[in-house]
Structure 1
Amino acid sequence: MPLGTLDRTPPPFFKQGPSALSKLMVCSALALFLMVADTRFGITQPLRAGVATVLYPVQWLVLRPVLALREAGNYFESLRSAQLQEAAAREKLARQSLRANQVEQLSQENERLRKLLELRERITTPAQAAEVLYDAADPYTRKVVIDKGLAHGIEEGSPVIDESGVLGQVTRAHPLISEVTLITDRDQAIPVMNTRTGARSVAFGDPAGGQSGALELRFMAGNADVHEGDLLTTSGVDGIYPAGLPVARVDQVERRADAGFARIHCVPQAQVDGARYVMVIKPVAGQLPPRPADLAPTPAKGGRK
């Protein structure tokens, strides 16, 4: 085949259209036109609304896991915050409860101290305040230990009272502390007087009379004028206790026909199991004037004048 008859045009596969630069310029001009037209006339708003409507279910489904994770995070965060607030509230409540108990205890102590001072004003003998440290370790006696001793002028035999009445008597004085035997001790006895009748008797400790101990009026006739509710006070005839201090109140009177004496049980007025502050009184015998000596001796018989 002669060379002049060959087709020199490139085949369609290698045929090139407009250049890339031309296409870029046309597309850029079209995009700029569409933006300006959309801004001025909103020609793509219906299309945008339609596309948004079509894609809304897809968006809703895609956002579900994200929202679920966010809600789960908020739930655990809220739960943690609630637990911390609850712990803080419990701690605050515990502190307030402790403070309330302390305030109540202080109020009770103040009330007892006021009553003790009021009782002190009615006593003319010297006295000094003391604090109960602890109960004695001996299980067979009823004793307490106070924080005053010989160095503070405490004497053996001194009466001890609280805000309600007679608590006991100092039976052993050490340099810095003293032992006080309570009136409910089995070996303790105290002269008393019935304020209603004026009858005098002696009250003995009766530790078996109840859980906190009691008193018993012994050697009282079966027909003695004693009734439940009678108040017993110190008679003052023993030279130890001042007269008129509350001691006990009659709780039960047992009269038996076959017995010559009545069994009379009494409840102490003092807080024998819960006293905190007490008053130690000087024994009355120490406040009495000395017995006067004879002015002149009696002359012997047959002696000179």
Structure 2
Amino acid sequence: MPLGTLDRNPPPLFREGPSALTKLAFCAALAVFLMVADARFGITAPARSGLALVLHPLQRMLLAPVDAWEQAGDYARGMERATEAENQARRQLAEQAVVLSRAAQLQAENQRLRALLDLREALPVKSLAAEVLYEAADPFSRRIVIDRGSHRGVRLGAPVVNDSGVLGQVTRVYPLSAEVTLLTDREATIPVLNTRTQQRGVAYGGERGVMELRFIAANADIKPGDALATSGLDGVYPPGLPVAKVAEVERRGDTSFARVGLAPVAQPDSARHVLVLEPLLGQEAAREEAAAEAASAATTAEGNRKGGKSGRSSRAAANVDEAASAPAAAQKGASR
């Protein structure tokens, strides 16, 4: 091939175009034009809106993992806060339940104490307030222990009552406590009076927390619902205290006595505060001592009054003698 036929033009890869400076100037001018045109005429707003519309699904797809992670974190934190709030609410509910039960207990105790105060004001005998500590462990007897003993003036045989009626009698006294035998004990007895018919009798303790009225004639005027109160004949219980109500009356032809079941008005299982009364015999002895002291005081005062009168009379006689002897002494002095 002859040399004149060879193509001496450079290949397209090595072709030279506009210079870099020219390209920079063109791009800068184009950018300035586009900025000015966008600022003045907003020609790029439709293009931007279309591009945003096209890229929105892609953006949401790319943000889905991030949103899922944040939602999972919010769910976990929400569950933790909800669990903590629930635990706190449960604790508050438990505390409020304790406070509510305590308030109900205090209200009931306040009512019982008010009833005891009214009862103490109504009773014409000395009384001492006490609290039930516990029930005696003997399974064959019905006894309770109170927190008052001989140091507080509790006497053996003192009646014990609550706001409903008679509970029992003090059978053992210790320095700081005392043991009370309830009326429902098998060995307990108390003289009673039927408030409707004024018939006297003796109530005995029985089994399973009940009492019975023994030695009542089969034709006696007694019926269920009759109220029985203390008669005061034993010298221990003050008269008129509620004891029990007649629960049932069974009259049989094979015996001359009726079987009378009683329900005590004072329930020992619910008693928390009681009053320990002074026995009537102790009151009589105290009244006799007080009467003797009053009589001795009156005698002493009378003797003092008599002694004062005699002393005053002797002093008056001495004054008279002195007044009579004064003129004689004056005459003797004059004669001298």
**1:36-115 correspondence to structure 2 within 5 Å:** 36-115=36-115
- Paired with 1:97 and 1:215, the residues of 2 have a C-alpha distance of 39
- Paired with 1:85 and 1:186, the residues of 2 have a C-alpha distance of 57
1:221 aligns with 2:221: no
Deviation at 1:290, TM superposition (A): 4.9
* Contact kept in structure 2, 1:242 and 1:284, CA below 8 Å: yes
Deviation at 1:63, TM superposition (A): 3.4
Partner of 2:164: 164
Partner of 1:257: 253
Partner of 1:131: 131
* 3-state DSSP of counterpart to 2:269: coil
Relative to structure 2, which stretch is displaced further, 143-152 or 47-56? 47-56
Amino acid at match of 2:244: A
Amino acid at match of 2:237: Y
Alignment counterpart, residue 285 of structure 1, candidates 281, 286, 293: 281
Q: CA RMSD in A?
A: 2.5
- Paired with 2:288 and 2:81, the residues of 1 have a C-alpha distance of 81
Q: Between Structure 1 and Structure 2, which shows a larger proportion of helix residues?
A: 2
* Contact kept in structure 2, 1:233 and 1:248, CA below 8 Å: yes
Cα deviation digits, residues 251-283 of structure 1 (max 9, x gap): 111111112211111111112112111100111
- Which stretches in structure 1 are left out of the alignment for 5+ residues? 1-5, 293-305
1:267 aligns with 2:263: yes
TM-score by length of 1: 0.87
- Paired with 1:13 and 1:52, the residues of 2 have a C-alpha distance of 38
Deviation at 1:55, TM superposition (A): 2.4
* Contact kept in structure 2, 1:222 and 1:262, CA below 8 Å: yes
- Paired with 2:11 and 2:50, the residues of 1 have a C-alpha distance of 44
- Paired with 1:290 and 1:77, the residues of 2 have a C-alpha distance of 84
* 3-state DSSP of counterpart to 2:139: coil
Amino acid at match of 1:165: G
Cα deviation digits, residues 75-97 of structure 1 (max 9, x gap): 33333322222222222111111
Cα deviation digits, residues 128-178 of structure 1 (max 9, x gap): 101111111111111111111111111100000011110111101011111
* Contact kept in structure 2, 1:216 and 1:263, CA below 8 Å: yes
Amino acid at match of 2:283: Q
* Contact kept in structure 2, 1:165 and 1:245, CA below 8 Å: yes
Deviation at 1:39, TM superposition (A): 1.1
Partner of 1:204: 204
Larger Rg: 2
* 3-state DSSP of counterpart to 2:255: coil
Partner of 1:300: none
**1:186-201 correspondence to structure 2 within 5 Å:** 186-201=186-201
- Which stretches in structure 2 are left out of the alignment for 5+ residues? 1-5, 292-336
- Paired with 1:119 and 1:271, the residues of 2 have a C-alpha distance of 17
TM-score by length of 2: 0.79
| Structure of greater relative contact order (alpha carbons < 8 Å, 6+ residues apart) | 1
Cα deviation digits, residues 81-115 of structure 1 (max 9, x gap): 22222222222111111111111111111111111
- Paired with 1:22 and 1:160, the residues of 2 have a C-alpha distance of 121
Deviation at 1:13, TM superposition (A): 4.0
Amino acid at match of 1:238: D
- Paired with 1:11 and 1:196, the residues of 2 have a C-alpha distance of 142
Amino acid at match of 2:149: G
Partner of 1:303: none
Partner of 1:296: none
